[in-house]
A and B are shown apart, each in its own frame.
Chain A
């Protein structure tokens, strides 16, 4: 009986496989989806206006040595770009360097044509908002207080929140779906909730650029998708330009217009995910053996791990 069920299951699986193959190869539906997707991409490309961030030959580090070297890339207005690379490849360092947080820096970083060295922290804070990596914050501030901190640069030093500030935080809290967390303390929230509070805080800052350091880290799958859905909405509705570091390659692919591979502090390659995600690139950047498939939903490439399991005899 059990054996028969096993047989049936196997048949069932191959049936599904057959169905998808037909769908992919024969049925015009698949091709259509593909077309719609690329048409969408083209429309998005059409909307992209101008370069907002220009990085030229940037090298930077915390102390004497440079951690990242000769970085050259640019962000266009309304673009979503993901930085990928191994642990210690310089992803977080790059995000910090781009905000002028590091002292040992050479090269040029221009925002809207202005060199960031000439900008004071308060001026820079009106251009770039930053969401750090979340690791269980335990401070006593309430959710609204933290979101309101995004408004500080728009207020006087001694001024308190105006009705405009309150309207804005109401809006960003709705956008990030944290309105129900009002009155709670940060320390009492889950990782996903803290992440959304910090994104809301960054939105309240009202900047054209949004930088995120591993927004999906420490989150379960449902939170990961939720965060990226929110980011996508911000991109399409608010026209935000988003730069994020990410470990989950498959999560970055469908949301990014451009990927940036970092290896040992240098740019390995950059470009749209369709071109960049190849077996060769992944092996060269991550030293990992993977298979590349096509995601049947998005029609974009997707990596699948190739674990070397011990054979069971």
Chain B
């Protein structure tokens, strides 16, 4: 396992840096390695805006959003003990998206205690929706995964419809609807990064801190408690941070589906179910997955930019069907 993890780490690091390089060079203004070299070594100011403000911010944001969504998915999959759980499936993403759009519709552009009202709305509605889905999918304390998936999908469809409704009421713009429902990094800037990063860092540290407890939860609540895990407390914390992660990601990039579903699952197949490593590798791989997805979104129909959700769903949906078949 150790050598497997080391190999994977090596591959991911190489993928990360090559992804970073491609993303910096690719764009409407043609640039090459020489330009990047000049900028880094000789501090050539001509390309400063393009490299740092436009492209680097975009790569960093894509990485952070991907990492947040994958970590959220890894937590939810452990929480529900089901590889088909994820922020999109259980309804956090669509709930958060609705909250963000609602705050824009109401014209709430305030800051409360340093948090933008938009992300607070996104978090609150994501949390409400996932709690609602969770409550609906249990009967007399018995939890049914099938009901969870179906309720999540139904609730997601309903909130997506509401999201579109508010967008058309307000702006009648198609572009905004596409942004919130299919996701995009076209509007990325460093402000958004400072919005997402603290949430991500905070949640990542807590997840890593409680990773052993998550391992214990897999053995069942009774056994976990007998092994020293404060089950109900730990469960509440995990549900909160997974919602926080997905909501903060959605509030800056819209709904990007399937990342939180396929990346943690794929990592589990590669390195095993130990959450101490699963959380870290899910973040890394999820970030890289979105860097490349964004690269594809930008270049596939150049100069037109595709919503990134099309790319991730294009890869994710077939994978989801494959998972469903595997479970039979």
A binds B: yes
Nearest CB of chain A from residue B86's CB, rounded to whole Å: 17
CB within 8 A of A152: which of B218, B225, B227, B230? B227
Bound Cα distance A120, B227 (Å): 11
Residue contact B272 to A152, C-beta cutoff 8 Å = no
Bound Cα distance A125, B230 (Å): 11
Whether A125 touches B226, Cβ cut-off 8 Å, given contacts A149-B215, A149-B216, is yes
Residue contact B228 to A128, C-beta cutoff 8 Å = no
CB within 8 A of A101: which of B215, B225, B272? B225
Interface presence of B273 (CB below 8 A): yes
Q: Mark interface residues in A243-265 (1 if CB within 8 Å of B CB, else 0).
A: 00000000000000000000000
- Chain B residue with the shortest CB-CB distance to A156: B212
Q: Mark interface residues in A123-148 (1 if CB within 8 Å of B CB, else 0).
A: 01110111010000101111001100
- Chain A residue with the shortest CB-CB distance to B216: A149
- Chain A residue with the shortest CB-CB distance to B210: A157
Give the chain B neighbours of A137 by CB distance below 8 A: 219
Residue contact A140 to B219, C-beta cutoff 8 Å = no
CB within 8 A of A132: which of B220, B272, B276? B220
Bound Cα distance A99, B227 (Å): 11
Residue contact B81 to A99, C-beta cutoff 8 Å = no
Residue contact B226 to A152, C-beta cutoff 8 Å = no
Residue contact B226 to A153, C-beta cutoff 8 Å = no
Whether A122 touches B226, Cβ cut-off 8 Å, given contacts A139-B273, A149-B219, A158-B209, is no
Interface residues of B in 160-208 (CB under 8 A from A): 208
Residue contact A130 to B222, C-beta cutoff 8 Å = yes
Give the chain B neighbours of A142 by CB distance below 8 A: 272
Give the chain B neighbours of A62 by CB distance below 8 A: 141
Give the chain A neighbours of B210 by CB distance below 8 A: 157
Interface presence of A176 (CB below 8 A): no
New contact pairs (4) apart from A150-B227, A158-B209, CB-CB < 8 Å: A99-B226, A101-B225, A130-B223, A142-B272
Chain A interface (Cβ < 8 Å from any Cβ of B): 62, 96, 99, 101, 120-122, 124-126, 128-130, 132, 137, 139-142, 145-146, 149-150, 152-153, 157-158, 160, 198, 205, 211
Return 5 A-B CB contacts under 8 Å, by A number: A124-B226, A125-B228, A141-B272, A152-B227, A153-B227
